[in-house]
Structure 1
């Protein structure tokens, strides 16, 4: 398999690949062009790099728990596997880059990613601004930018307790407040300057509390409509089950159905997030352990008798 493979990937505990003799040094001698992807929890050079870890480790160490925290509440890792998923996506991108290089140069290489590193990178601009200012980010609502040019991304509940989201760039803040008929009220209360949130936790709380009070006077459909008519960004907030039935999800086939023979029915699963104009992607169920052994081994030149002997000897 290694002789003809383009990519080899593993995410065993540190040291296991070496113990089983399929580390990069061993495999690259068989196939110098191979791209070897190795995923760990902490990263190869971390002090704790020898330890095993899971998605919870990636979330906990990366700082992402604070980004999604509510002021006054304890930090918690989330139920969504953001470290696992982001690491898979970033590893995929790294593999493609290394593969393209291997096709051009004839030389493969080892690619290493980690759960911690991926979740940390996922924080993006939020982490960057926190490091620049050497202060924790404003949580609960994302008031970003600078004191002079602040923006906001936040969620508020409407008159029925239904949440919606908005995001306003620095140039949009006052225009949006005027469109919503909030401008005069905020100005009278000394809260029209969003940049005050950078100076005072009290002012930040006062601004957000006043916005929450104002948004609780009408439906989210109305607020979203007003903001969109003013060319501002706003949408309703879904629960997970609501998201799975949202027209924006369903019409893009981000949810699809796959037949599971052992259950004798179709089951809803993630569709593909990619839309290829010439080579549409199809979602299939994952194979069972060893399901394709015969096809793979036959393709490698093994006879039917040899494959049966592997089964008898419990090699496969």
Structure 2
């Protein structure tokens, strides 16, 4: 008996999207069984096909963001190309685009036009800044959203230049919100027969990612302490999340959420007596006291530098304190919990004749498991997709000759 592939079987998506935030929502849906058609230009396709191309393996950027989807090439500057797009949209549940604001409307596939073709359509538009602000007309990127949304400041270190992270957290956050928003709107459309447009932005997703820390800053009207330690809570119930290096320079982190945690953690590490003598029996003394916070962190730096990361983490975990090594990206990809849960897996690439490590899936469905695919060649699915619309071999040859597909 074959196992059904993913809980989104029967969901049809058409995407005129590029880059990362605009493609990852539909890649995730393809992992979960949705039929996703990616529209690309016949002349070169999605520009991200040419980003970070590794010899003998292709583009890691394109592969990570477009696996499992179908590639259909259409010249959307031609009326025939737009007519084919409308035929595809008429049969779709979801349409996605992340063109520069106004471009979709200019090219004939804005919300107002496509809703006439399919009143049940869920139309997802992703932008940099959002649809209504003073900079709505500007293009956006991951680093721009990280900078504006607060994460560059949140992860800054005193005395060092602020920077955006190497991982595209703004792109990915927006993509995951688009994934959820599209499915929410699809549920409404299937219940009521009424589709709708959803606007999301890189900036909006980044602000959401700041979570309760942003709300605390707004209520206090004061920026949080950044750098090595994140100090939270109140004098009576302090909290801390902090990182330290062991004697070999290997970093670890632990997080505490109250006064009892503090004594338990420091006792397990063998630090408590030393800290008590230095006036740090109570973690609350560092709340709203920068000098004492700096002194405590310096003391802990010295203490953690006397042993090994594995030992410190084991002691803390043994005392039921949340602690973990701080992994590099490669360490994360080989972490035993990451591997055991399939968050990183291997996929066979027939064209390359070998398996390669890729993202797994963050979900585990008991009845309809996800199945990671591989990214398509440009226009790979032209014949199969357009054939279902009624274009025979002769018609397809004619469209190719006239550069419509």
Give the TM-score normalised by the residue count of structure 2: 0.75
Counterpart of 1:19? 106
- Matches of 2:286 and 2:146, distance apart in 1: 27
Offset, 1:306: 1.0
Offset, 1:175: 2.0
The answer on whether the counterparts of 1:194 and 1:207 sit within 8 Å (CA) in structure 2 is: no
Counterpart of 2:370? 281
1:107-134 deviations in whole A, cap 9, x for unaligned? 1111011101111111112211111111
Counterpart of 1:148? 236
Q: 1:194 aligned to 283, 286, 289, which one?
A: 283
The reply to whether residue 217 of structure 1 matches residue 303 of structure 2 is no
Offset, 1:136: 1.3
Out of 170-179 and 224-233, give the one that drifted further: 170-179
The answer on whether the counterparts of 1:144 and 1:151 sit within 8 Å (CA) in structure 2 is: yes
Alignment of 1:8-157 (within 5 A): 8-140=95-227, 141-157=229-245
Counterpart of 2:256? 168
The reply to whether residue 241 of structure 1 matches residue 330 of structure 2 is yes
- Matches of 1:269 and 1:225, distance apart in 2: 30
Ranked by relative contact order (alpha carbons within 8 Å, sequence separation 6 or more), the top structure is: 2
> Which ranges of structure 2 fall in alignment gaps of 5 or more residues?
1-87
Q: CA RMSD in A?
A: 1.4
1:59-81 deviations in whole A, cap 9, x for unaligned? 01001001111111111011000
- Matches of 1:245 and 1:235, distance apart in 2: 14
The answer on whether the counterparts of 2:147 and 2:153 sit within 8 Å (CA) in structure 1 is: no
> Which ranges of structure 1 fall in alignment gaps of 5 or more residues?
none
Give the length in aligned residue pairs.
316
Out of 22-31 and 244-253, give the one that drifted further: 244-253
1:19-77 deviations in whole A, cap 9, x for unaligned? 01111111111111100000000111121110001111110100100111111111101
Q: Secondary structure at the match of 1:172?
A: helix
1:247-274 deviations in whole A, cap 9, x for unaligned? 2112222222234455443322111111
